[in-house]
């Protein structure tokens, strides 16, 4: 049985997050993307502690498409090393799961 997963990533701007999110949803690789602007990140990069304003994107998809979503994020991302994490979903409401699964089926035609 197919399971739902979340693919978490961050982008440097709202414009980039929306553009990439739209492509992935249009390709039916994810049923939905939630875009959350206004995040502040502090992280270690190349020996320095950095600060950046970022945008979180959370893709809702089926487990079988997680690697394709990750590949599409990487393909369109401006970061050299984007944060891409696939998170299992422990539980999901049945009607929502049915919608997610339907929205990620190949387009009829």
Each residue of 68-97: pLDDT tens digit?
A: 999 999 999 999 999 999 999 999 999 999
Strands 4-11 and 32-45: unpaired
In the chain, the number of structural domains is 1
User: Is residue 86 a contact partner of residue 68, using CB atoms and an 8 Å limit?
Assistant: no
Q: What CATH number has the domain bearing residue 31? A: 3.30.70.120
Contact 70, 86 (CB under 8 A): yes
Predicted local confidence at residue 106, as pLDDT: 87
Confidence of residue 27 (pLDDT cuts 50, 70, 90): very high
Burial call 34-65: b when 16+ CB within 10 Å, e when fewer = eeeeeeeeeeeeeeeeeeeebbbbbbbbbeeb
| Residue ranges making up the domain that contains 10 | 4-103
pLDDT bin (cut points 50, 70, 90) of residue 59 is: very high
Residue 66 pLDDT > 90: yes
Which pLDDT score, from 0 to 100, does residue 3 have?
A: 94
Give the SS3 label for residue 8. strand
Q: Which two tokens stand for residue 41?
A: 């990140």
- Whether 108 is covered by a domain: the verdict is no
CA 35 to chain centre: 9
Report, as an integer, the average pLDDT of 4-20.
98
The answer to the question of residue 109 being in a domain is no
Write down the pLDDT at residue 75. 96
């Amino acid at each position: 049985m197919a399971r739902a997963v979340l693919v978490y990533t961050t982008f440097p701007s709202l414009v980039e997050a929306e553009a990439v999110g739209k492509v992935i949803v249009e390709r039916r690789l994810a049923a939905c993307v939630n875009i959350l602007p206004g995040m502040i990140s502090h992280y270690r990069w190349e020996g320095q502690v950095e600060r950046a304003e970022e945008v979180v994107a959370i893709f809702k998809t089926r487990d079988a498409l997680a690697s394709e979503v990750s590949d599409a994020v990487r393909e369109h991302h401006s970061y050299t090393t984007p944060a891409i994490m696939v998170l299992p979903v422990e539980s999901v409401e049945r009607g929502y799961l049915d919608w997610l699964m339907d929205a990620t089926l190949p387009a009829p035609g």
